[in-house]
Amino acid sequence: MSTEVLTIRPRLWRRPQVRIIALAAVVALLAAVYLFTGVPGSLLFAAKVRGLTIAAMAVVAVAVGASTVVFHTITQNRILTPSIMGFDAFYGLITTVMVFAFGATGFLSADSMLLWILQVGVMVAFSVVLFTWLFAGKRRSIHLMLLVGIVLGTFFRSFTEWMQRMLDPLDFQVVTDAMFASLTRPDPTLLAFTATLVVAACAVLVPLLPQLDVLTLGEPAAVGLGIDHRRLVMTLFLVVSIMVAASTALVGPILFFGLIVANLAYSYSGSFRHRWTLPTAVLLGLVCLLGGQLVIERLLGWNGTLSTVIEFAGGAFFLYLVLRKGAR
């Protein structure tokens, strides 16, 4: 009887569905802890405020998790994130330019809706231009596009650095604050808009999942199997751009944990198929965000930023996996 149990559990555990359910349970647990514990005053009020944060986390987790996994498949390279295309740097540039042009007060008092639209619009436009310029032509190459993205990203960063030197300390502080991602107290309207965009992007993505699977074989094999490679990559890239732009405009540069989450998802999900790796990445993203926020609030007493906690814990966990058994 005891040996039976031992053989059943491992076999069940090998199925991706089971793993995802287990992960979802962990997420639910963390969410419950976050919502209902450590409440100083009215439970209902706290739950409403925190609920909004969780919603923001969900949106961000979907955006970052999905976009990173898709990006990995497009580029056939698992150490990259969409930020390599200069998204974070471009956001920093936009922010700095705006503060520079309108001053700190002007920036802070601007209509947040307008700001959000502007940021998303400019970021998406930038990536679309980059993409069509480098990929839609005859000599298309993802490798080249990535290199150009890297060059442009570094350009933006350096240019931003230069501009920041010319800002006075108050303006500089405003920019720095904007560059640290924050998920607490998101603007409900903005959140709704971001969520809509992300959901729309997912709606485009889901029917393409089987084709994404074929893409893992590499471009030549995929073409041989009848995939319209150019159109597929263009669509996917647009989806990635929209998701990344929307979530960055909402909470600030947030792509850092995409790498951790995606790579953990590949080994945890037990399958190469995107219908399992994508949701796994998203759920892991939620674990990171919820867990990270809990650590900051409850353990560290609000000292430290989300990115610091996640990079530390996520990175350490990844290394632990490697040490334990050459993770794949």
Partner 1 sequence: MLLVALAAVSLFIGASSEVTVSGVASGDDEALFLLAASRIPRTVALLLVGAALGIAGLIMQMLVRNKFVEPSTTGVTEFATLGMMTALVLWPGMAILPRMAFVSLFALAGTWVFLRIIRFVPVRTLVLVPLVGIMLGGVVGAVTTFFAYRLDLLQALGQWMQGSFSSVMRGRYEFLWIAAVMMILAWIAADRFSVIGLGEEFATNLGLNYRRVVAVGMIVIAVITACVLVTAGVLPFLGLVVPNIVSLMIGDNVRRAIPWVAGLGAGFVVACDLVARVVRFPYEMPLSVVVGIVGAGLFLWLLLRRRGRVH
Partner 2 sequence: MIVLTGATKRYGGSTVLDDVTTSFGEEGVVSLIGPNGAGKSTLFGLVGRLIAADAGSVSVDDMDVSSAPSGDLARTLAVLRQDNQIAARLTVQDLVEFGRFPHSRGRLTSVDREKIDEAIAYLSLEDLRTRFLDELSGGQRQRAFIAMVLAQDTKYVLLDEPLNNLDLRHMTEIMKLIRRMADELGKRVIVVLHDINFAATYSDRIVAMREGRIIADASRDEIMRPEVLREVYDTDVEVRQIDGRPVALYYA
> Rule CB under 8 A: which residues touch partner 1?
77-80, 84, 137, 139, 141, 143-144, 146-148, 150-152, 154-155, 157-159, 161-162, 256, 259-260, 263, 303-305, 307-309, 311-312, 314-316, 318-319, 322-323, 326-328
Q: Choose the contact partner of 221 out of partner 1, partner 2, none; CB within 5 to 8 A by kind.
A: partner 2
Question: Is-contact 255 68, C-beta < 8 A?
Answer: yes
Decide whether 47 or 217 has the Cβ nearer to partner 2: 217
Short-list 183, 180, 181, 160, CA closest to 92: 160
From candidates 60, 89, 181, 227, binder to partner 2 by CB under 8 A: 227
CB environment 78-92: b (16+ within 10 A), e (fewer): eebbbbbbbbbbbbb
Nearest distance in Å: CB 64, partner 1 = 15
Cβ neighbourhood burial of 102 (10 Å; 0-12, 13-18, 19+): middle
Shortest Å, Cβ 198 to partner 1: 25
Closest CB to partner 2 among 33 and 209? 209
Question: How many of the chain's residues bind partner 2 (CB under 8 A)?
Answer: 22
Residue 177 engages partner 2 in binding (rule: CB under 8 A): no
Determine, following the binding rule CB under 8 A, whether residue 235 of this chain makes contact with partner 2: no
Paired tokens of 305: 């930023």
- CB of 102 or CB of 159, closer to partner 1: 159
Q: Minimal CA–CA distance to 248: which of 92, 102, 136?
A: 92
Compute the distance between CA of residue 287 and CA of residue 296 in angstroms, rounded to an integer.
Answer: 14
Q: Please report which residue ranges of the chain form alpha helices under DSSP H.
A: 2-13, 16-36, 43-75, 87-109, 112-135, 142-165, 169-179, 188-205, 209-215, 219-224, 229-251, 258-268, 274-294, 306-324
Residue 73 beta carbon to partner 2: minimum distance, rounded to whole angstroms? 9
Which of 147, 225 has the CB closer to partner 2? 225
Cα(281)–Cα(259) distance, integer angstroms: 10
CB of 32 or CB of 144, closer to partner 1: 144
Query: Which of partner 2, partner 1, none is residue 216 near (CB under 5 to 8 Å by kind)?
Result: partner 2
List interacting residues with partner 2 (CB under 8 A).
76, 78, 138, 209-211, 213-214, 216-218, 220-221, 223-229, 272, 328
